[in-house]
Structures are given as C-alpha cells and as structure tokens.
Amino acid sequence: MPGPLAGIRVVDVSTVVAGPFATQVLAEMGADVLKVEGPAGDILRAPGPARSPGMGAAFLNCNRGKRGLVLDLKQPADRARLDELVRDADILVHNMRMKAAGRLGLDDARMRTLNPGLITCAIVGFGQDGPYRDRPAYDDIIQAACGWADLERRASGEPRYAPTIAADKTTSLYVTTAIAAALFHRACTGEGQAIEVPMFESMVSFLAVEHLAGLTFRPPLGPSGYARLLSRHRRPYRTRDGYIAVLPYNANHWRDVFRVAGRDAWAQDEALGSDVARAAMIDTLYERLAACLAQDTTEGWLARLAPLDVPCSRVNRIEDLLDDPHLVATGFFEAVDHPTEGPLIGTRPPVRFSRTPCGATRHAPPLEPGTP
C-alpha cells in the first residue's frame, strides 16, 4: 500500500543535509522526490566512507527513496528542463541563499507563474526580513548563533557543538511539518504558497522551549537555562564496570533508588516529596545518585532498577544498536542491495501509519545525467 504522500511530486534542488533529510522523509512517506543536482553533484557525496566515489555513507542515508537528475541551472536548456518539471510538481525545495535562487529563476514569484498551485519551500540561514538575511549559514554556525554551543559551556565548562548535525536535521523536521501544513491548505483552498524556513529562528524556537526559562516573564523571574539540564552532574554515571543512564523523575523513583542502594537516610529526605524542592536541590540529588551507582555493575543496576520502573538504560555505542534486542524485534534496521554500492544497512521510518505504511522504495541515486 502506498504511503500517505503517494501522488505528491517533489522537485528537490537542495544539498547537504537541511534539505535532503527533509525530502528523504517525504520520500519515505510516499512522495515521488526528484533530486536535481549540478554537474559536480551534491557536496555531501564526497565524505566517506564509501565504496565508490560520490556515494558516501551520509549521502546514501540522506537521499534514499529519490530519483536523480543532473542539470546545470546556469545553462538555458537545463533551466527550461527544470521549468518543465516544476509545471508538473507539487513542491519545490531548495536551500540556496535567496539572491542565488533568484539568479537561477527559482524565486517563488516566477515558479508559481509556471504552476499556480506549487508550494515552494526555501530553507535559509536567517529570516529574510532581518539584517542577517544574506549571511552564509552552516550547522556549526547556527549552533553557535542560536545559543546551543553556549549551553554546552554552561553545562560542561567550554562551548561545544553537538556531535551530530543538530541544526540541519532539526530544521529539516520543521520543513516537513510546514510542507504537510501547506499541502493541507492547498487541499482545502487550491492555493499554493511560499514557505520560508530559517535555520536560526527554527533553532532559537527549539531551544527556547525550556531554556528561555526566567526570561519568559516580564520582568524576568530569573536567568535563562533549565537548571536540571545544565547541571554539571547530569551525565551517564560510572558503575563498577562502565556507565549507565538513570533518570529518577518523581519522588517514588528517587526514594526507590536510594533504598535499593542502602541509603535510607537519603530516601527519607522530606524534600523528595516536593517537585519544587527536588528541582532546587537537583545538583545534590545527582551527586547522591552518582555515589549510589558506583557501588554495583551496569548489569547489576539494570536488574535492580527495572522491577522498580525507574527509567534507565545502558550507554550504547552506535555499533551496539545494530544488535539491540528491541530494534531487532521491530525490524528497524534493514538490509538492502544497492544496484551500484552493494549490500547496505539502512533504517526504516520511525513513524508508522496504520492505513498508509511508508518506507523507501528507491535507492539513493548515482550522479548520472539523463532522464531520471
């Protein structure tokens, strides 16, 4: 059975991650996504590991489910070919700076003269009504600009970037949400429209949920930052033979952990019964938790805490996930045979639809000119 976006046609002129990850999600949900690349190809093709040039792992993981087409949009004939594709499309996605998109004729005003029902989605670094609109933007730059890197400083002592492409991928999810909403609007009204998804504003919105904190109020009721998340004691804890993640979240959790660790005095602390009091002493509680967990092995603690329903987990490596019992049981990782790259491992879509199951039906395309 086709996915929920079956019949929706997407022309994807985006590169690297912020656009391609979004359109990969659309492809897994059934959309027919045509990835349009210049003659040199998406720069994400280059980073390895790879079995063959231009087919690196990150590119394969960001572009499965799509058809491919090479067009040099600086050439009139190829621009005309793109116009033909747009006339029959539902969505156009790009992540160029707007001046560059305009020079190539990809601005919304021109695109919707070709197709009035078209939804155009421009992923930009910064909102186009602000003074940063023309600045270049990449994931590290946005992590620094939005406050993420400084939150790492407050938590660990120095500013750091997340060890994942956090800004690009988070923005991609805003993109998929916005496109779904625009498709609903068009289904109701017949109107296409332009969507602008700025990375900077998306990430500020993402972090402000908890970290705007006291600055939410006027006048402020305190500083920015969610104290529990910024505690220097919030981390995977050492056990006798490794590390474990444990998150006692309510009063019963804390009491149970302390009791099973033989710390009855801590378990009887009256402050545990108050959500406000626990929040105020979170550093002390995490220090006590660390002292408890050092007493036993990781497996020992998992065996003790599971019957108490205290949230806990091993600290997995990426390598461990391929054999994780839950992921194996759900069939989350799937083996595929790519026509040029051979046997690969990929992930199934994490979301499930009861009526319209989704999944990639195509492989990431090679960089080949010609008909997709």
pLDDT, tens digit (0-9, with 9 covering 90-100), for 211-237: 999 999 999 999 999 999 999 999 999
pLDDT, tens digit (0-9, with 9 covering 90-100), for 139-195: 999 999 999 999 999 999 999 999 999 999 999 999 999 999 999 999 999 999 999
Tell me the H-state helices in the chain.
18-28, 57-63, 76-87, 98-103, 108-114, 139-145, 148-156, 166-189, 199-211, 227-230, 251-260, 264-267, 275-280, 282-293, 298-305, 318-321, 325-330
Cis peptide, bond prior to residue 339, ω within 30 of zero: no
Asked whether the predicted pLDDT for residue 116 surpasses 90, the reply is yes
Same domain, 173 and 245: no
Confidence grade of residue 1 (pLDDT, cut at 50, 70, 90) = low
Domain count, the chain: 2
Report DSSP letters for 69-114, one per residue: EE--TTSHHHHHHHHHHHHT-SEEEE-S-HHHHHHTT-SHHHHHHH
Same domain, 104 and 251: no
Same domain, 285 and 187: no
Q: Average pLDDT, whole number, for the chain?
A: 96
Cα(125)–Cα(194) distance, integer angstroms: 16
Same domain, 153 and 111: yes
Closest CA to 17 of 147, 150, 170, 119: 170
Q: What is the pTM of this model?
A: 0.94
Q: Which residues are catalytic?
A: 168
Same domain, 135 and 169: yes
Closest CA to 27 of 76, 91, 85, 75: 91
Confidence grade of residue 45 (pLDDT, cut at 50, 70, 90) = very high
256 is a domain residue = yes
In angstroms, the Cα distances linking 267 to 63, 122, 258, 285, 305 are: 51, 54, 5, 11, 15
* Structural domain boundaries, residue 283: 237-314
243 is a domain residue = yes
Cα(35)–Cα(33) distance, integer angstroms: 6
Confidence grade of residue 371 (pLDDT, cut at 50, 70, 90) = low
